[in-house]
Amino acid sequence: MNSVGTPVSRIDGPIKVTGQAKYAADNAFPSMLHAVLVRSTVASGTVRAINARSAMSIPGAIAVYTHENASEELFGRTLPDLNRFSLGGWFPMTDPDIHFAGQVVAIVVATSLIAAREAAMAVRVEYDAEPVSLDLNDSNYVQPSFFFGEEMQVSVGAACNAVKAPHTVRAQFHTPVEHHHPMEPGATVADWQDGSLTLYDSTQGVDDTQVYVAAALGIPPDRVRVLSPYVGGGFGCKNQVWPHQAMAAFVSLRLKHPVKLVLSRADMTTSCGFRSENERGELKAVRHIATVPTSMVGHFFEPCGLNTLIMYPAPTGRLPGRTAFVQLGRPNI
């Protein structure tokens, strides 16, 4: 521990502050195409119809993929089960169902970013919307057992109400949703060459990204190379895998061009997780009732009760956690 208190220079510091660091979206190739996402404006229901004729009339527009043509023209098959990933096996544009506001309903590809954005705004989507409730108390709950390498339903010692103490503190807390907005948004550049894929990606998990994208594409992981030399902040949104990473790869494969897909700030609120709101209950001896949301199409939830075990160890405790399914995108940490 002799290094504690000793100034240490960051070896990449000069490169970053002088603008020489090359982030994912900085990669560009000849004949590169640009992809932009179209997101749902309702939180629950189904897509009744999608009209892309105006989008395809924009100069430079190359393709519009939706659930109506993606399986045949983009994915090339029915996607495999991705359940071992925290997405819960779900992938957008595989059916008309809407599970949360901001869900990807189309991906537009064009020869320039400006053309792709203009074409994306020209896509017309009609919905059959259904009622939505984001109230955690109105939702169906599950009581998860084992997650993040820890038991989620903890019971230690005597019943909490049997513990006598000179002072008792009762409090109820509600923390809001917090979205991840690092300086660098999520970005992927996909380039197929000679039967192998190179991804220039903004990720803190290159191995997970490699395995996930290979599984989605149905190819061996050794045919996917992920490069992420610099990450412009993460805040929790870049340590997991997300559909846009595989989408860029699919488009590059089908159109036989390098493809760049950079999430907009609006995309960042719905396409790469968020820190869940929490309704945190009362502390007696140690009693922490945690209610957190998860997506209708995923199984990741924030295990906030683990922090209580770390910060408030006690011989007596109850930590019954509840996870509510609501019409939101998949959270993370």
pLDDT in tens, 17-69: 999 999 999 999 999 999 999 999 999 999 999 999 999 999 999 999 999 99
Mind listing the pLDDT tens digit for each residue in 235-283? 889 988 999 999 999 999 999 999 999 999 999 999 988 888 876 544 4
Q: Which residue has the higher pLDDT, 228 or 134?
A: 228
In a domain, 296, yes or no: yes
Q: 117: which strand partners?
A: none
* Res. 178: pLDDT tops 80: yes
Work out the percent of the chain whose per-residue pLDDT is above 70: 91
In a domain, 186, yes or no: no
Mind listing the pLDDT tens digit for each residue in 152-175? 787 777 666 656 667 777 777 788
In a domain, 62, yes or no: no
In a domain, 112, yes or no: no
Give the three-class secondary structure for 170: coil
SS (H, E, C) 182-228: CCCCCEEEEEEECCEEEEEECCCCHHHHHHHHHHHHCCCHHHEEEEC
Number of domains in the chain: 1
In a domain, 310, yes or no: yes
Neighbours of 60 (CB within 10 A): 16
- Residue 201 is predicted with a pLDDT of 98
In a domain, 163, yes or no: yes
Q: Which residue has the higher pLDDT, 211 or 154?
A: 211
Give the residue numbers spanning the domain of 300: 136-179+274-326
Mean pLDDT to the nearest integer, 69-79: 89
* Res. 127: pLDDT tops 90: yes
- Residue 282 is predicted with a pLDDT of 47
Q: Which residue has the higher pLDDT, 86 or 259?
A: 259
* Res. 284: pLDDT tops 70: no
Q: What is the pTM of this model?
A: 0.83
* Res. 1: pLDDT tops 50: yes
* Res. 72: pLDDT tops 80: yes
Taking phi over 0 as left and psi of -120 to 50 as alpha, with beta for the rest, 201 belongs to beta
Of residues 64, 180, 188, the one with CA closest to residue 121: 64
- Residue 326 is predicted with a pLDDT of 85
